[in-house]
Each structure stands twice: as C-alpha cells, then as structure tokens.
Amino acid sequence: MNEPIYLDHNATTPIRPEALEAVTRVVAMLGNPSSVHQFGRDVRRHIEDAREALAALVHAEPADVIFTSCGTEANNLALQGVGRDRVFVSAVEHVSVLEAREGVIQIPVDENGIVDCTALEALLAEGTAPALVSVMFANNETGVLQPIEDIAAIAKQHDALVHCDAVQGAGKVPININALGVDMVSLSSHKIGGPQGAGALIVQDTVGLGAIIHGGGQERRHRGGTENAASIAGFGVAAQYAANCKDEAARLGDLQQDLEVRARAVLSETQIFGEAVARLTNTTCLTMPNVSSETQVMALDLAGVAVSAGAACSSGKVGASHVLEAMGVGEAAGDAIRVSLGWTTTTDDIERFISAWSALFQRTLDPA
C-alpha cells in the first residue's frame, strides 16, 4: 500500500529538518530569555537571531518584529492594538481578521476575490474618524494575490493605517514591507516550514501599538508572557529558507500547471477559482460539480491523499467557503476543494491526486 501523500500545505507545511534541529537544541536549554544571567542570555540570543531573520524576510528592521504565538494572534494584535475607531477588512479575509474585533466593515470583492478599490475609497471617505485597513497578501483558499500597493496608496490618502496578513504569501512570493507601503505585516512559522507555536507581527516604528496580552513586558511591552524560544528559533531558521523562494515558486508553478491541465482533462467542467488573475503558484481551488466538498475530502483521504475544503481553522468543520461566497460563485462553493503544494511535493504526488480524483469522478458517473 502506498504511503499517504500530503497536499494541504496552506494548512500547515512540514517542518524543515534544519528548523527542527534548532527547536530540539533550544528546547533543551535552561534559562528564561528575560533573565540577565548567562543562561537567560544564551536563550535570548536565539530569539534575537530569529528576529533578524524575520526582519530580513520582509525587509524590515529587527526592532519592528514582535513575536506572538501564531498568525491568528498577530492579526488580533494588529486589529485590536492600534485603537482605530473604523476598521475595514476585505470580505475574503481569514476568520482571524474577520472576527478579531466587533464592528469591522467588510470591503466587497469582485468575482476573482480581488478587493474593489473604488468601494474601499468610498468607505474611507464616509467618515473622518481614524481608520485601519486590513487586506491579506494572498488568499489562503484560492491563492489570489491582492493589489496591496494600490490598496495602501488609497488608505494613505485618507490617513488610514494598513495591515497585511501575509501568512500565506511569505515564503512563496518576495515581500517588502516598505515597497508595499503597509504599516503592519502578520507572519506564521508553521506556514513556512517552521514549528507550530510561533508567529510574528512586523510593525513599523511610526505605529502606536498597544498590547492585548498584558504582564511581564516582553516584546517591548507589546506582548506579555515568556517567549516560546524553541519555536521562535525554528521560525527564524525557516525564515532564512523562505527568503529564497523564487526557484521553489517556479518549481511549484510547474506542478500546479500540470495538476490543473490534467484535472481539466478528467473533468472539463471543473472550475478553478482565481485562475484569471495573479495567484500563488502552490494553490489550486477547484470543483467537482455535484459532488460536495466534504465527500471529496473524505474520499481522497480514504485513497491516501490529504487535501482540504478551504481553511483548516474550524475544528474539522467542512462547509461552504465564505471566500467563495463573497466571490459570488453560487452553489459551486459547496463543491470546491483546495489542493495546496509545498516544499515536499513531487510529481508523483500530483499523479496520485489526479488518479484518486479521477477515480472518484468515475464512481459518480457509475455509482453501481
């Protein structure tokens, strides 16, 4: 029997061996990183090395990096910590942005899931209270890339701060916080080959950011609590690999194209969401008409192929995607699955997926 294959890298990607080695080394060390003695300073050194690596990944300064427990916490810190009265978020954001605070105002998107910049400008013009705009770099379900530079330019015309959830984009597309024109960027360790349990919010020094976790004064009083030094160390190592993403993005793009061409050869009616616009080279969101997302995920799992039906942040719940609903795709939203590739994906994995997906489709034609 073949070993199961993993095509759900947008949920979490396997930890790189070098990152695991860093975690193993640091978790065995004795010392609180806030302690001033030698033991504490030795642990602190690994955190600061990681801080430099994360800063380099997005072309920021090390002092701009605030470590958190995950990308969700980083998003919550961004939306809650700035204290802005008006908060505008795209309708296709991750739930950790959509639900980060009460009263967020959703910016509509077009049929490809791209923010309607005209609508954003109109929303910002409706009031004068301080505003925050939060739009993701790349969608976690479709891979669609947002025009962040254009969005930031519009926001700045209205003196609004800009936050970008770059959790899915980091390590797949080069990210430069200054070129994008944004004030804050969220990152997550386990999306780029680091361990679970670490995230970061990159904050430009012009932003006045309060804490949402108080006590202890860690992370320059932005995030209380003893840092998870081992996970942060692994995060830093993974960031070094993520910084050199162009060749890997090209390799995955070839695999993505192969997958999509062959999927259409099996089922010409399949929809591939976002294919008409720029998107990540590792993400394919496609449909099998009249076969529910849940059925596809379960059948593929039984065949030893792991995929998902959108975001993996709802405690195993499989339902229609709010992202696809915001794009206005209609009933097809209930028939979509996400196939996301990563650094361990091979041509054989694509072959296995197509074989299993095709077999499922053939069973729908001949249930007997």
Active-site residue list? 313
Query: Who's near 337: CB < 8 A, 6+ residues apart?
Result: 285, 286, 287, 288, 293, 296, 297, 300, 307, 308, 309
Residue 232: closest CA among 42, 75, 60, 22: 22
- Residue 186 phi, psi (nearest 5): -100, 140
Give the single-character DSSP code of 102: T
Residue 331: closest CA among 320, 318, 317, 319: 320
Are 188 and 57 within 8 A, CB to CB?
no
CA 211-212-217 angle, to 5 degrees, is: 45
Residue 321: closest CA among 123, 98, 33: 98
Output the six-digit token pair for 28. Answer: 């065995």
What CA–CA distance (Å, rounded) separates 335 from 271? 10
- For strands 131-134 and 161-165, give the pairing: parallel
- Length of the chain, please? 368
Buried b / exposed e along 188-205 (16+ C-beta atoms within 10 A) = bbbbbbbbbbbbbbbbbe
